[in-house]
Amino acid sequence: MDGYHQHQYLEGEVRIPSGCAISGIIDRSGKRFSGSDAITSISVMHDRSNGLGGGFAGYGIYPEYEDFTALHIFYYGSEAKRKTEEFLEEHFDLINLSKIPTEKHRAITDEPLIWRYFVMPLPTKLASSQLDEDEYTARCVIRINKEIDGSYVFSSGKNMGVFKAVGYPEDVGAFYRLDDYKGYSWTVHGRYPTNTPGWWGGAHPFSLLSYSVVHNGEISSYDANRRFIEMYGYACTLKTDTEVITYMIDYLHRRQGLTLEEVSSVIAAPFWSTIECKDEEERNALTYLRNTFASMLITGPFSIILGYNGGLMALNDRLKLRSMVAAEKGDKIFIASEEAAIRIIEPNPDRLWYPIGGKPVIAELYTTGQGGAHGHQLPVSGL
Amino acid sequence: MAINYLYPDFEVQRNESRCITCRVCERQCANLVHHYDAETGRMTSDESLCVNCHRCVSLCPTRALKIVKTDHVFKENANWRGEVIQDIYRQAETGGVLLASMGTPKPYPVYWDKMLINASQVTNPSIDPLREPMETTTFLGKKSTTIRRDEQGKLITDTTPQLKLAIPIMFSAMSYGSISYNAHKSLALAAEQLGTFYNTGEGGLHEDFYRHGKNTIVQVASGRFGVHPGYLNAGAAIEIKMGQGAKPGIGGHLPGSKIGQDISKTRMIPLHSDAISPAPHHDIYSIEDLRQLVYALKEATNYTKPVIVKVAAVHNISAIASGIARSGADIIAIDGFRGGTGAAPARIRDNVGIPIELALASVDERLRAEGIRNQVSLVVGGSIRSSADVIKAIALGADAIYIATSALIALGCHLCRTCHSGKCNWGIATQNPELVKRLNPEIGSEHLVNLLTAWNHEIKEMMGGMGINSIEALKGNRLMLRGIGLCDAELRILGISHAGA
């Protein structure tokens, strides 16, 4: 800032809380469907966002490249692109690269260069790093985001992709032509930030590897969580809640090997008074998790939908300070901030319920056993 | 006889029209300030003996007494102030080290007072502790870094020993000897009732107090007073005292006059011998030696007790803390230079060490930068005066707080700062049986319980205001703090932004 001209704060320079709308759909049979349902669902909640950020995550959208990491990257300028591609060449085999197809939309402006790469780590580099593939890729992504100015990797999973922009989510969906993609699950987010970020990276979903998070809320534990997770190699460059939540889930689920239920009882830990009432084995486990990962407890309002390969998990803060509704129809599970956003795409669900605060709703493909011992069972409580 | 250059600091003002010559003041003053003059039938006072402890003022039934600062002055001099001149007179006369008690009264910056706490407005809701759960339970101890599971995939939930605190505040070390039996009993009873811990200090544990062991931290200091296997195993945790905020670099002092029968037995030293702890531990000349003592104590207690290492906040505190974190210690306690003492050389108390706020901020940041913050818990003390100070300390990164001066004030201490005289009129810092019995441990513990209960209410209110309903989400949450009137260097060290930013 030169002190004379007005400065517009960018994401990462200031902390920006935001209100939001979220929605998610999964077909547990694995049947793939286009992104249009997610667009329709979120459009009903238009007033929950303010045109300053919208985005989608689709899973199962790149079956022809399912063994490769799909990197979606924003570039602000060709120099950033050149540096990043140099870095990528050094660390990965580039299987395919192209611009992400977009369609001009009058409500979506100032777009950066948006590129997609299908990559796999260079075997020699990977071996010498002594890391597994995920950790190797994650570190490379964090490094690009932290160190290459004007370059931002916003999606880095396998057989999944994030699409986001500044704008209303339904316009963002049209811009990225999400009708053309087919996935077995979709999440979507409309953002209501409290200032004008003007930067595309700040939109949701926030993603690392195949984890993606859409989030509504403002967490009061942010700096406690941030300062803790940064000890383990993560760099919270955006100063947003969603970023820190994603990193914590990555740390707990991928790196520590906790099940998603266990992850939930860390980040939305039951109250001590609730833990006291459990039988000894459960009490010990819950006490252990809460104590060991005390600094990963999230307080303040949040509702999140976590997307991962093979499933979705929805979770509310333990006081349920944000609305969230879930519904089931046949093989499909729907989750949204508002009931209307479900009924617009599925007017007659088999059942519809309001998940209890702190209790995860986990919906997985019938074929996946990932995400915890209890698999795809849905909690019957709160029906 | 030489001329006495010293003019008394205080004047005892007696409202003659109120005084009923009941002579309570005379009986209550161990410093012998008040006398009854039989000839005139009036009370007189020798103010040169007065320490301004307010015992007489508080007990005077007609409120006839007050103590005022003398308006006698030296010729004004911004450099050679009156107190400076008087100290030189004292040392010229005695040839001795100036002794002092309690924390430094010098006007160093108090950073607690230059930090402001956040609250929620609009974008997220504040939480009402009257209507929603608000959690202050805290565990102290090393946290494991790898998840282990048994053959069935169930979590293995063993941990290294932990201290569970219902509130994140403990009573810090004050030895039996520096304070009285009744003061110790008050602390023990209160700790038990509050679900927290008190600390024996370096004076051993009186046999009557073994029954409060599960709320006791036993200290091992350089003098090893009162240390034996039964003592080590009596408490819930063991604290190695490497240093004290009020007197970094030197050991403890307890004059022989305070070493009566009971204290001699508890400390395992001869009757009326001075108890002067060595400045260093003579088995710890380096960090690797500390590790040996940590593990020796763990061996002696079969790895059932967490080991705390207490150090004074000194210039290189973050590197020292990093070394301690790798020494096997479970908890690091840091004592800031405004912390109290029962006796210390005044020059050391007033000039050595650094404020706890800066030490805490710097240590927490360093341990995180090295990725080892979760290997140790951090307890800080050294003049924590209110629930707001507690909130600020936790937001800077402390796991829990040690208080001592605040606790003594709750017991009736008026901070006259003459503990080293052994003539505490409030029955706290004395071993004179007549004075000790003035402190009723039941009432004392009730006051301590009241104080911390009140603080805990306030902590919950402020947490709720920030939209935080569990204390762990406040720990290290520096976004909840803003500096006021601090320079860039101070803000950088504290790791906070200025108010308005």
Question: What's the per-residue H, E or C state across A325-360?
Answer: EEEEECCEEEEECCHHHHHCCCCCCCEEECCCCCCC
How far is the C-alpha of B336 from the C-alpha of B382, rounded, in Å?
4
Locate B489 and state its tokens: 């260097």
Alpha helices in A21-77 (DSSP H): 36-43
- Residue window 92-131, chain B: list those with CB within 8 Å of chain A: 120, 123-125, 127
Residue B123 lies in a domain: no
Q: Is A312 left (phi over 0), alpha (psi -120 to 50) or beta?
A: beta
Look at residue A47 and give its three-state secondary structure: helix
- Same structural domain, B322 and B470: yes
Contacts of B155 in chain A (CB under 8 A): 262, 285, 288-289
pLDDT confidence tier of residue A258, bands split at 50, 70 and 90: very high
Contacts of A194 in chain B (CB under 8 A): 123
Flag if B371 and A319 touch (Cβ within 8 Å): no
Predicted pLDDT of residue A6: 62
Residue B104 lies in a domain: no
How far is the C-alpha of A261 from the C-alpha of A293, rounded, in Å?
14
Rounded mean pLDDT, B130-159: 93
Per-residue pLDDT tens for A72-89?
A: 999 999 999 999 999 999
- Residue window 350-409, chain B: list those with CB within 8 Å of chain A: 368, 371, 373-374, 397
Predicted pLDDT of residue A11: 66
β-strand partners of A188: A23, A56
Predicted pLDDT of residue A132: 95
Flag if B368 and A227 touch (Cβ within 8 Å): yes
Residue B122 lies in a domain: no
Q: Name the nearest CA neighbour of B113 among B388, B365, B340, B474.
A: B388
Rounded mean pLDDT, A141-170: 94
Cα distances (angstroms) measured from residue A119 to each of A99, A124, A164, B451: 15, 15, 21, 62
| Cβ–Cβ < 8 Å for A307, A185 | yes
Q: How many CB atoms lie within 10 A of CB A149?
A: 11
Disruptive mutation site among A20, A195, A218, A223 for chain B (greatest number of B CBs within 10 Å): A223
| Cβ–Cβ < 8 Å for B372, B411 | no
Contacts of B159 in chain A (CB under 8 A): 288, 291-292
Structural domains for chain A: 18-257+300-364 (3.60.20.10)
pLDDT confidence tier of residue B254, bands split at 50, 70 and 90: confident
How far is the C-alpha of B56 from the C-alpha of B25, rounded, in Å?
5
Here the ipTM equals 0.91
Predicted pLDDT of residue A158: 97
Locate B437 and state its tokens: 């019995």
| Cβ–Cβ < 8 Å for A166, A24 | no
pTM: 0.93
Residue B158 lies in a domain: no
Per-residue pLDDT tens for A193-229?
A: 766 556 788 888 999 999 999 998 889 999 999 999 9
Q: Does B434 touch chain A (CB under 8 A)?
A: no
Query: Which of B96, B116, B146 is a domain's end point?
Result: B96
The half-sphere exposure of A260 on its side-chain side, counting CA atoms within 13 A, is 29
Q: Name the nearest CA neighbour of B64 among B9, B8, B32, B23.
A: B23
Q: Scanning every residue of chain B, which has its alpha carbon at the shortest distance from the alpha carbon of A230?
A: B368
Contacts of A262 in chain B (CB under 8 A): 155
Disruptive mutation site among A230, A255, A258, A291 for chain B (greatest number of B CBs within 10 Å): A291
What is the share, in percent, of chain A residues with pLDDT greater than 70? 90
Cα distances (angstroms) measured from residue B144 to each of A229, B282, B289, B372: 15, 32, 24, 11
Q: Considering CB atoms only, which of B144, B155, B478 is closest to A223?
A: B478
Is the pLDDT at A2 greater than 70? The verdict is no
Q: Considering CB atoms only, which of A231, A257, A284 is closest to B147?
A: A257
How far is the C-alpha of A138 from the C-alpha of A73, rounded, in Å?
14
Flag if B124 and A256 touch (Cβ within 8 Å): no
How far is the C-alpha of B267 from the C-alpha of B231, rounded, in Å?
11
**Catalytic site residue A20?**
yes
Find all residues with CB under 8 Å of B134, minimum gap 6, and list them: B127, B460, B463, B464, B469, B470
pLDDT confidence tier of residue B369, bands split at 50, 70 and 90: very high
Locate B458 and state its tokens: 């306030």
In terms of Cβ atoms closer than 10 Å to its own Cβ (0-12, 13-18, 19+), residue A100 is middle
β-strand partners of B475: none
CA A275 to chain centre: 29
Task: Give chain B's domain count.
Answer: 2
How far is the C-alpha of B140 from the C-alpha of B130, rounded, in Å?
27
| Cβ–Cβ < 8 Å for B450, B458 | no
Q: How many CB atoms lie within 10 A of CB A124?
A: 8
Q: How many CB atoms lie within 10 A of CB A97?
A: 14
pLDDT confidence tier of residue B122, bands split at 50, 70 and 90: confident
CATH number for the domain spanning B242: value is 3.20.20.70
- Same structural domain, B88 and B185: no
Flag if A220 and B124 touch (Cβ within 8 Å): yes
Flag if B473 and A224 touch (Cβ within 8 Å): yes
CA B452 to chain centre: 14
- Same structural domain, B79 and B176: no
How far is the C-alpha of A113 from the C-alpha of B217, rounded, in Å?
62
Flag if B127 and A319 touch (Cβ within 8 Å): yes
- Same structural domain, B389 and B472: yes
Residue B50 lies in a domain: yes
Predicted pLDDT of residue A16: 66
Smallest CA–CA distance, residue B300 to chain A, in Å, is: 26
Flag if B469 and A299 touch (Cβ within 8 Å): yes
Q: Scanning every residue of chain B, which has its alpha carbon at the shortest distance from the alpha carbon of A302?
A: B124
- Strands B216-220 and B275-276, sheet pairing: unpaired
Rounded mean pLDDT, B96-117: 96
Alpha helices in B269-316 (DSSP H): 287-300
What domain range includes position B40?
10-96
How far is the C-alpha of B175 from the C-alpha of B252, rounded, in Å?
10
Q: Considering CB atoms only, which of A293, A295, A319 is closest to B469?
A: A319
A20, A140, A236, A277: which one is catalytic?
A: A20
Find all residues with CB under 8 Å of A242, minimum gap 6, and list them: A204, A205, A206, A213, A214, A215, A304
Q: Scanning every residue of chain A, which has its alpha carbon at the shortest distance from the alpha carbon of B120?
A: A220
Please state, rounded to an integer, the average pLDDT across all residues of chain B. 95
Start-to-end C-alpha separation, chain B: 64
Query: Which of B96, B125, B156 is a domain's end point?
Result: B96
Rounded mean pLDDT, B16-45: 96
Q: Considering CB atoms only, which of B132, B154, B476 is closest to A224?
A: B476
Look at residue B188 and give its three-state secondary structure: helix
pLDDT confidence tier of residue A383, bands split at 50, 70 and 90: very low
Q: Scanning every residue of chain A, which has its alpha carbon at the shortest distance from the alpha carbon of B497?
A: A14
Flag if A223 and B155 touch (Cβ within 8 Å): no
DSSP-derived secondary structure letter, B98: P
How far is the C-alpha of B317 from the C-alpha of B360, rounded, in Å?
9
pLDDT confidence tier of residue A377, bands split at 50, 70 and 90: very low
The length of chain B in residues reads: 501
How far is the C-alpha of B286 from the C-alpha of B291, rounded, in Å?
9
CATH number for the domain spanning B17: value is 3.30.70.20
Disruptive mutation site among B472, B482, B498 for chain A (greatest number of A CBs within 10 Å): B472
Is the pLDDT at A375 greater than 90? The verdict is no
Q: Scanning every residue of chain B, which has its alpha carbon at the shortest distance from the alpha carbon of A194?
A: B123
- Same structural domain, B209 and B293: yes
pLDDT confidence tier of residue B79, bands split at 50, 70 and 90: very high
Predicted pLDDT of residue A8: 62
Flag if B373 and A228 touch (Cβ within 8 Å): yes
Residue B147 lies in a domain: no
Predicted pLDDT of residue A372: 35
Q: How many CB atoms lie within 10 A of CB A167?
A: 26
Residue B132 lies in a domain: no
What is the share, in percent, of chain B residues with pLDDT greater than 70? 100
Is the pLDDT at A347 greater than 90? The verdict is yes
Cα distances (angstroms) measured from residue A268 to each of A236, A271, A281, A298, B342: 21, 9, 19, 6, 45
CB pairs under 8 A between A and B: 111
Q: Scanning every residue of chain A, which has its alpha carbon at the shortest distance from the alpha carbon of B395?
A: A224
Flag if B371 and A291 touch (Cβ within 8 Å): no
Q: Considering CB atoms only, which of B137, B371, B468 is closest to A231?
A: B371
Q: Scanning every residue of chain A, which has its alpha carbon at the shortest distance from the alpha carbon of B162?
A: A291
How far is the C-alpha of A15 from the C-alpha of A18, rounded, in Å?
10
Flag if A222 and B466 touch (Cβ within 8 Å): no
Look at residue A108 and give its three-state secondary structure: strand
- Same structural domain, B88 and B173: no
Higher pLDDT, A179 or A369: A179
Q: Considering CB atoms only, which of B133, B466, B473 is closest to A271?
A: B133
The length of chain A in residues reads: 383
- Same structural domain, B483 and B347: yes
Locate A172 and state its tokens: 């963002």
Predicted pLDDT of residue A291: 96
- Same structural domain, B58 and B181: no
Please state, rounded to an integer, the average pLDDT across all residues of chain A. 90
How far is the C-alpha of B246 from the C-alpha of B253, rounded, in Å?
12
How far is the C-alpha of B137 from the C-alpha of B156, rounded, in Å?
22
Alpha helices in chain A (DSSP H): 36-43, 78-91, 123-129, 133-147, 169-175, 222-229, 241-249, 260-267, 272-276, 280-292, 339-343
Q: Scanning every residue of chain B, which has its alpha carbon at the shortest distance from the alpha carbon of A252?
A: B147
Smallest CA–CA distance, residue A176 to chain B, in Å, is: 30
In terms of Cβ atoms closer than 10 Å to its own Cβ (0-12, 13-18, 19+), residue B20 is exposed
How far is the C-alpha of B488 from the C-alpha of B445, rounded, in Å?
43
Locate B199 and state its tokens: 């600390």
Smallest CA–CA distance, residue B119 to chain A, in Å, is: 10
- Same structural domain, B31 and B171: no
- Residue window 135-164, chain B: list those with CB within 8 Å of chain A: 135, 137, 139, 143-144, 146-147, 153-155, 157, 159, 162
- Same structural domain, B71 and B191: no
How far is the C-alpha of A320 from the C-alpha of A302, rounded, in Å?
8
- Same structural domain, B169 and B52: no
Flag if A222 and B479 touch (Cβ within 8 Å): yes
Flag if A291 and B374 touch (Cβ within 8 Å): no
DSSP-derived secondary structure letter, A14: B
Query: Which of B96, B117, B134 is a domain's end point?
Result: B96
- Same structural domain, B200 and B60: no
Smallest CA–CA distance, residue A377 to chain B, in Å, is: 19
Residue B109 lies in a domain: no
